[in-house]
Structure 1
């Protein structure tokens, strides 16, 4: 069933149909999953930023469990979102990047990369479909990016989502986003935020799953004008000094604050789980995540480590913090368990439920985390020294983290990089030659994982490649 956000009557009908057959659904918690676009690990106050101002998020984080080692399963938008929505590594759904995998100049690419998939397959059983089957009214608000319409992938309500990865403009006309401004010059983030508040303020007959994925703070970097003066003369902090971007961060925080206010006023905060995160690292040309290395598109920590917290009144201890490494792959099994929902028959889920961590039943979650990127992704600008070389944010390779250790393997020349993240969070000291046995141990695990998941490894030489 395809519907637009047309008003209370339509949504009330959808809520009634969603709850049919599930008499316990009125006692299930609402779920709000906030997946910000391109917000870096330290782009919020609760992760230490002294430049960006995020008081609403900081206040909610203080009442939540904060995850300091939270990861996206991919370093840029589409693959990360596909991993989140399917609960599967990229090697299973085939979405590795945005658009073509042949990024950058052909003469600089030694290998022919694996062909990329740009649309999530119809047979993928998404998180939205699983929660809808459990009686949830499902709403996608903002960026979808995995196909033309989230209504075909389990959502009953779509607020401005399509295949587009970013708006043409945050000021009307928005071009890539099929929404019309309701007031003169209405900023897109505000319009989506307003419609989100309208959605949660309806008298639902079923619990709702709100996937709130604002296009912010992705490019284009367009300042929210009335907030700009606060940052124009503000002291830079730790590589963060972009005033226009700072207004976009603060403005998003304001919209999230309006959502929280609506939930409180409607008496829903006590029965709503809120998960906050980002889809990948911050844009390195705009914001820095120091001491983390690099940013969006790179498989160093700055490209894949995210801000994250989970709020659930009475279930998650206020002010809790954990350094257990987790992934957005874990959201699917976690929310299934929260909702009492089931995955599809024979469906493989690559994450693990975080519910034992959230409720304090467990303190550890020991397993390796993997990343696979058999593609190229060109650098944002010349002479970027934060990545392996100045030409690419990513060359084809894989990575694994086990405990404090992280190994990156590049396929072109079988280069290896080994880091101890506990001692070297900035990934400055490659220990591959110093600890060959540890290297071998992690590489064996990584190679076995690629075999088990049928992950493609490009090995065909590119005839256009030139070493000069």
Structure 2
């Protein structure tokens, strides 16, 4: 399915970089963590500290939060590839059509179901060129930054396009440098002694992390190896007097859950189980990477001209401790699947130690980063970007998001049955395709989503369902097939 939005010609505009010395452009570091839940940090993103905040030790996240702004209602998609494509394109997942995780060309991970047939989704992911079946063709964030004079550096997990398609290669998506990025969404192993390969575990090569051969056979965790490579690239950019965009996209803390020996034992000594201590060590390993990067920024003398953004791509998996008070986990439509820790440090712009409760979503990073970089005019295939810049929030300007619609779309049978979600103001509606049932929650009053108000507030539920259906219809969102009738399920509401 090459949706209409993905067809060339592209509709976009670009304003060239100003005549200022390129040193004056801010460096931008996007530090993205994989599968990290909202509470898996010692930084509290709720109104009070939780049990998990007390368990985990992330001092460098604390450091970053003290120097920047916390976003307490930052949202991503419920799983990885959709979030990453939204970040790269500024489009909502319902629009770009990459609504599940990608890997093998032409194959969907959807599980068999007696009622649901798999939707005709963009299972081959993001593509820089037309002509590849089931892809979203789009202009990417790093390609715009390249045009604006940035050196664009990718380190870590990519997971934008299926194997044997151009979208699996970050170098074809606007990056000047690619370290360890390919089609797979997880590493074979975190251990250098195992060559970052799963062959030791199950014989599979598809998960092997590429390009890190110099660390093979050595006692070095994958997270540390990637950090070393990122630091080298930062040094090179500064030496060449080039502004850089570093996309530090860690595989951590995605499965396989393998301990970082530098941090594991102290959690065992605190009485945690092996799994709990392993996860805690992986989180602290990630945090150590953040600290190493912040230290390098200081050592290079670029702190005042470097923006640092921290975010996770979805909620914590079901195997991990529940991120209370949130309900649900990765893949689910509940807050535990989509609400994530987010921090932004921008010296001279962001008030240190500040916080905002205004909701933002993953596609907002696209226009926000471009605005930070001075790229003022841009567009996307089909002429539409769903994301809204959160730069005004960083500048402490009043932003009223009460009338903005936030949409999540998961038309698959994979861990959960198909659903779509809309949040508008305080209200959030979850629509299940199987029976047309809706759940309605007032998020500020009920962050744990325990009190379904759909029957008590039928007019609010009906209005949200209608708005959700109208948006999905407008963007031609794909939906599953009903095997009983061999027809597509209808959109929510009266559409």
The normalised TM-score by structure 1 is 0.87
What pairs with 1:338-417 in structure 2 (closer than 5 Å)? 338-341=372-375, 342-344=377-379, 347-366=383-402, 367-378=404-415, 394-417=416-439
Pick aligned residue for 2:125 from 119, 124, 140 = 119
Q: Distance in 1 between matches of 2:322 and 2:284?
A: 17
* Residue 192, structure 1, aligned to residue 192, structure 2: no
Asked whether the equivalents of residues 84 and 328 of structure 1 are also in contact (C-alpha less than 8 Å), the reply is yes
* Residue 329, structure 1, aligned to residue 351, structure 2: no
* Residue 452, structure 1, aligned to residue 474, structure 2: yes
Pick aligned residue for 2:453 from 431, 439, 442 = 431
* Residue 140, structure 1, aligned to residue 154, structure 2: yes
Q: Distance in 2 between matches of 1:251 and 1:339?
A: 30
Q: Distance in 2 between matches of 1:272 and 1:343?
A: 23
Q: Distance in 2 between matches of 1:422 and 1:344?
A: 34
Return 5+ residue gaps in structure 2 as ranges.
Answer: 1-15, 129-136, 162-167, 198-207, 487-495
Q: Rate the CA distance shift 1:460–1:260 in 2: closer, same or farther, 3 A.
A: same
Once the two structures are superposed, what CA deviation does each residue of 1:14-64 show, in whole Å capped at 9, x if it has no partner?
xxxxx9985443211000011100000001111241111100111111111
Q: Rate the CA distance shift 1:241–1:184 in 2: closer, same or farther, 3 A.
A: closer
Once the two structures are superposed, what CA deviation does each residue of 1:153-192 show, in whole Å capped at 9, x if it has no partner?
0000011101111111111311321122437222111100
By how many angstroms is 1:455 displaced?
A: 1.2
By how many angstroms is 1:280 displaced?
A: 0.3
Q: Distance in 2 between matches of 1:327 and 1:197?
A: 29
* Residue 440, structure 1, aligned to residue 462, structure 2: yes
What pairs with 1:206-217 in structure 2 (closer than 5 Å)? 206-217=242-253
- Please name the residue that 2:266 is paired with: 230
The normalised TM-score by structure 2 is 0.82
By how many angstroms is 1:234 displaced?
A: 2.1
Q: Distance in 1 between matches of 2:19 and 2:37?
A: 39
- Please name the residue that 2:98 is paired with: 95
Return 5+ residue gaps in structure 1 as ranges.
Answer: 1-18, 379-393
Q: Distance in 2 between matches of 1:262 and 1:448?
A: 48
Q: Rate the CA distance shift 1:408–1:101 in 2: closer, same or farther, 3 A.
A: farther
- Please name the residue that 2:144 is paired with: 130
By how many angstroms is 1:244 displaced?
A: 0.4
- Please name the residue that 1:267 is paired with: 301
Q: Distance in 2 between matches of 1:20 and 1:106?
A: 52
By how many angstroms is 1:407 displaced?
A: 0.1
By how many angstroms is 1:405 displaced?
A: 0.6
Q: What is the count of residue pairs matched by the alignment?
A: 427
Pick aligned residue for 1:180 from 209, 213, 220 = 213
Pick aligned residue for 2:179 from 153, 159, 166 = 159
* Residue 27, structure 1, aligned to residue 24, structure 2: yes
* Residue 418, structure 1, aligned to residue 455, structure 2: no
Q: CA RMSD in A?
A: 2.1
Q: Distance in 1 between matches of 2:28 and 2:481?
A: 43
By how many angstroms is 1:348 displaced?
A: 1.5
By how many angstroms is 1:376 displaced?
A: 1.3
Pick aligned residue for 1:293 from 327, 333, 336 = 327
Q: Distance in 1 between matches of 2:386 and 2:284?
A: 34
Asked whether the equivalents of residues 66 and 322 of structure 1 are also in contact (C-alpha less than 8 Å), the reply is yes
Q: Rate the CA distance shift 1:344–1:447 in 2: closer, same or farther, 3 A.
A: closer
By how many angstroms is 1:229 displaced?
A: 1.3
- Please name the residue that 2:256 is paired with: 220
Asked whether the equivalents of residues 300 and 427 of structure 1 are also in contact (C-alpha less than 8 Å), the reply is yes
By how many angstroms is 1:363 displaced?
A: 4.1
SS in 2 for 1:249: helix
* Residue 51, structure 1, aligned to residue 51, structure 2: no
Q: Distance in 2 between matches of 1:115 and 1:76?
A: 15
SS in 1 for 2:61: helix
Asked whether the equivalents of residues 113 and 413 of structure 2 are also in contact (C-alpha less than 8 Å), the reply is no
SS in 2 for 1:33: strand
SS in 2 for 1:246: helix
Q: Distance in 1 between matches of 2:24 and 2:138?
A: 28
